[in-house]
Amino acid sequence: MPMEIPSDKKATEYLANERTFLAWIRTCIAVISLGFVIARFGVWLRELATQITPKTEVQSTSFSLFVGVAMMALGSALTLLAAWRYHAINRAIDRGEFQADRGLVITVTTSVALLGAAMIAYLLLTANRM
């Protein structure tokens, strides 16, 4: 059920919406950066292993690359979602009403939790190989 926003509170609502958008952008940058680090970490580990013992064959699983790229894609998608949400909230403020979007929260939470679970599973499955 939409809530009516008093006209004297609209400026506060616009500024709060902008702060929320900027928080989303900071989160997106962090997710993209972490994805990049994860994607490059597997390559770095293989290079380190060949430098320590050059004659040892190093098994390559591209799972860290997959998870890293997935996190970078998620961060990029969240950036677009944040911009869409920012504009949707601004339109709602202009109309003088606001309604929470729980579906967005559930979608983002589920996506991040699934990527985290995939990383945990990967680490547990490959822990004995390192």
Which pTM value belongs to this model?
0.70
**Rounded CA gap, 130 and 126, in Å?**
7
Q: Answer whether 67's CB lies under 8 Å from 118's CB.
A: yes
Q: Which helix (H) or strand (E) holds 22?
A: helix 10-52
SS3 label, residue 61 = coil
Task: Please report, in angstroms and rounded to a whole number, the separation of the first and last CA atoms in the chain.
Answer: 54
Q: pLDDT tens per residue, the chain (130 residues)?
A: 566 667 777 788 889 999 999 999 999 999 899 889 888 877 776 676 677 776 666 566 677 788 889 889 989 999 999 999 999 989 988 887 777 778 888 988 898 888 888 878 877 877 666 5
